[in-house]
Amino acid sequence: MAEKMTDQELDELTQKVLATLTPREKQILAMRFGIQGDKGEIEMQMQEIGRRFEETHKRVREIEEKALRKIRRTK
């Protein structure tokens, strides 16, 4: 049977995962998936994020993919 996580355990896991990311990776994922906390941000397209970081959309995609790989490997 699957074990349920408490809110505290989920918070601890989230902090552990986020600690593996650079500030830039955190920002890009937050913009891409609309997870900027209480700011009510919406998901952004790669091109828009690229403009904000003065990067190409391809480079933003590379950064996003690297960050997601880090998250998947975190245990």
Q: Per-residue b/e over 14-35, b at no fewer than 16 CB within 10 Å?
A: eeeeeeebeeebebbbbbbeee
% pLDDT > 70, the chain = 88
CA distance 30 to 25: 8
**Mean residue pLDDT across the chain:** 86
Q: What is the pTM of this model?
A: 0.76
- The pLDDT of residue 54 is above 90: yes
What is the tens place of the pLDDT at every residue in 27-51? 999 899 887 665 556 788 999 999 9
The whole-number pLDDT of residue 40 equals 55
What are the chain's domains?
23-73 (1.10.10.10)
